[in-house]
Structure 1
Amino acid sequence: MDDALVGVQLWLLLLLSTRIWAEFCDNGTGECVELTATDCPVIFYNHHLIGADIKYCDEFNDIVCCPIQLDHQSQKPADETHPFERECKRFNEARASCRSTPFIVGGSKAAGQEFPFMALIGTKGNDKADINWDCGGALVHPRFLLTAAHCLETSESKAERLDPNFDSPKFVVRLGELDYNSTTDDAQVQDFRVVNYVVHPSYDDEDGFKNDIAIIEIDRAAVVNEHVAPACLPPSSGDENSQLTAAGWGFTSDKGTKSSHLLKVTLQRFSDEQCLERLQQGIETRTQFCAGSITSNADTCNGDSGGPIFVQHPLYPCLKQVIGIVSYGLVCGTQGLPSVYTKVHLFTDWIESIVWSD
């Protein structure tokens, strides 16, 4: 038999056997597929971050062990589930393109259009032109965004909210911003008044900021474009994501100053046991989780409160899923000391009842 033909037959046999024995991996929790945006987006879009931890079924042919729970074939079709999933699909269809860049460990400047769901939440001073940007938020609908309850619920603002004629000039929202001290950056700003906000009814600021989540309604629908576009809510906990990304305009150190330029940071999710041990105080593990860095001082800080911590959407390359809301920390930027985040997936029914109530 011709040597070349034998070689081809052996190669085909090897490839076939590889696909047979490696159809499933990690004791059935993963599936061996090609490393493409379609077959395994969670690794494809984060392979720069995962690096040597990628599990291969066949490294020579770029066949990876892709977590089944994140693979697109295991997801329910968006139009058969919750309203927020149908809306997420619509947001994806509305975006013709996006700027997708690998996440970078450690604080670094975000690029224009990179996180179009990011919002600044501020309060006006005596001078109407003077705005103090206190918190962050995440746009999840052209007219609604998520933030932390503690960003809004002071005794003064609570009295305002309970006023039947509430139309607060105090809180303002800015979308599409990159550097709020620059007029030459890659930004297309849209400013809004806050006409209503809803703090979660079980929010408790006296015992560990439990249920620290709120919904803001702005005075008109945002114009969706490449600089302003919603993020998606998560259909599940996202516990399988060990690496998460946060973004915000907060302080760059515990005793530093705020960054006028949007920053991004990739953080490691801590287990509940690690969180309780390192914070040395209790958290409500059902509704809260911790993230930080064991190898660096990467962290969120004051001014980042209310902003999202998120992952790449497993179905849509241009969209992110908001896994958590920045709640609080003890000391910013301390290696090995995590900050606390509110889990979002537990509140999706509550969010839907307000945002998609029609």
Structure 2
Amino acid sequence: MRLQALALALVVLACSSARSQKPLDSDEEKAIEWLTQLYKKDVGVGVGKTTAQPINNRFNDKDDVFLSPRPKKNNKAKSCYTDAQEMGMCAKASNCNKEPVKLDSTSNFILREGNPCHFLETCCPLNQLLAKAKKPEAIKEVSCGYSNPGASVFREKLGSSKSGYADYGEFPWMVALLKTGAAGWVDENYLGGGTIIHPSVVMTVAHKVDTLKPEELKCRAGEWDTQTENEAYGHQERNVDKIIVHDEFFRIHVHNNIALLTLKKPFINEPHVGVACLSLALPPPGTVCYSMGWGEDFTKSDKYANLLKKITLPLVSSDDCQTRYRNTRLGSRYTLHRSLTCAGGEAMVDTCIGDGGSSLVCPVGNPGDLRYAVVGMVAYGLECGAENIPGVYVKVPELYDWVGAQMAREGFNRSSYDVGTEAQFKLRS
């Protein structure tokens, strides 16, 4: 279909000139050249993301994986009209020289009624199309935990305030764990989430990676919409060099469920890729925090979410959480281990299957500063979105010293994820 769309666009431009009995102007020639290069790409190696094949694979915890295929949406080159009513082509922002690509609350990612362009594309004037996408410049190293949302103009249209979708760049430390092999996003290769705590280190849950070899695993940062490549900046993928699992990890009861992945090549700090802070302490119960992931969107029909989810979750005390779980089919013998904590409990607002390893973050410092610290990682739960039953998360403050010891042993600077004393103080209050 995409080949047909590209070919049709070429024919339309050529025929339009033939009917008018005049040669192509420079803008039209540039548009044809741009489309022709895209066409050659499709004829050659192809573009876009590959289609998943179904597998039947189940685990016995919240991160069970029962994967099903989902149709992929192909990008199509389409003609359009700019706000100034100039003829243009739908293009990702980095393929248009119209204005600089940036991430902020006034980004040019706007939903336009009746516009044929994908919501991540811009209608680019023909004379400003770029055959080669602009590359984002590496930004100076900044402190950990800073959010950098770049599409807030449409975020509220994508979901409710408690269980919807994250803004583009809102959680730049978020990583997708994928099996190696496929070049694009293949659902059956998606394992779960992870967190960048150093440009060369990703933190995740042990039960996702303890049976894998490093060469079987890769980490993708900067992803947002798994069904398109139209984001302002491309994602980054890194192969894993080493898997470090907590030496007291107990899979049956999911105790000390943490692992570090060292990478063969560090991530590059960009507006949509950054390092998370780790918290030394849990905020008080009731603190509103957030989790995210591409796991099952159980409130809708999708098996996996296309866009990165954002879930609003209040923290729950250990005693309260343990009591709630003892009132379930698990019975009075259930004990919440010290390496675990809980969040949520509101009906239909929860992380779910496929979200394992994703971070649970709470705001720190100035409330208007969009900065967060990681207090947990998605571990397990009885059901997704069950009323009064919180999700169980790895308690990161409890394992903070272990992370530091492993970082030092591997020769990495532990200050990369240090939230700072002032922000940490506000977190505890």
Distance 2:171 2:145 in 1: 16
Note if contact 1:149-1:214 (Cα within 8 Å) is conserved in structure 2.
Answer: yes
Q: Which amino acid aligns with 1:134?
A: L
1:212 to 246, 257, 267: 257
For residues 241-279 of structure 1, the C-alpha deviation after alignment (integer angstroms, 9 at most, x for no partner) is 622100111001299501121010101222223312322
Task: State the Cα distance separating 1:285 from its structure 2 match.
Answer: 4.3
Tell me: CA distance 1:137–1:94, structure 2 relative to 1, closer, same or farther (3 Å).
Answer: closer
TM-score by length of 1: 0.65
Tell me: CA distance 1:257–1:143, structure 2 relative to 1, closer, same or farther (3 Å).
Answer: same
Task: State the Cα distance separating 1:212 from its structure 2 match.
Answer: 0.7
Task: Name the structure 2 match of 1:145.
Answer: 202
Task: State the Cα distance separating 1:138 from its structure 2 match.
Answer: 0.8
Task: Name the structure 2 match of 1:99.
Answer: 149
**2:187 counterpart of 1:133:** no
Task: Name the structure 2 match of 1:180.
Answer: 226
Task: Name the structure 2 match of 1:66.
Answer: none
Cα RMSD for the two superposed structures = 2.7
TM-score by length of 2: 0.54
Task: State the Cα distance separating 1:319 from its structure 2 match.
Answer: 3.1
The number of residue pairs the alignment matches comes to 254
Q: Gapped runs of 5+ residues in structure 2?
A: 1-140, 412-429
Q: Which amino acid aligns with 2:363?
A: Q
SS in 2 for 1:92: coil
Task: Name the structure 2 match of 1:171.
Answer: 217
Task: State the Cα distance separating 1:240 from its structure 2 match.
Answer: 5.3
Distance 1:266 1:244 in 2: 6
Task: Name the structure 2 match of 1:56.
Answer: none
Task: Name the structure 2 match of 1:222.
Answer: 267
Tell me: CA distance 1:337–1:105, structure 2 relative to 1, closer, same or farther (3 Å).
Answer: farther
Task: Name the structure 1 match of 2:358.
Answer: 307
Higher Cα radius of gyration: 2
Q: Which amino acid aligns with 2:348?
A: N
Tell me: CA distance 1:113–1:205, structure 2 relative to 1, closer, same or farther (3 Å).
Answer: same
Task: Name the structure 1 match of 2:65.
Answer: none
Distance 2:175 2:370 in 1: 18
Q: Counterparts of 1:1-358 in structure 2 under 5 Å?
A: 91-92=142-143, 98-99=148-149, 105-124=161-180, 131=186, 132-154=189-211, 157=212, 160=213, 168-206=214-252, 208-239=253-284, 242-253=287-298, 257-280=303-326, 281=330, 282-294=334-346, 296-314=347-365, 317-357=369-409, 358=411
Tell me: CA distance 1:196–1:241, structure 2 relative to 1, closer, same or farther (3 Å).
Answer: farther
SS in 2 for 1:178: coil
Task: State the Cα distance separating 1:148 from its structure 2 match.
Answer: 0.4
Note if contact 2:378-2:394 (Cα within 8 Å) is conserved in structure 1.
Answer: yes
Identify which range, 108-117 or 240-249, moves more after superposition.
240-249
| Identity over aligned pairs, percent | 26
Distance 1:246 1:130 in 2: 21
Q: Gapped runs of 5+ residues in structure 1?
A: 1-89, 161-167
More strand by share: 1
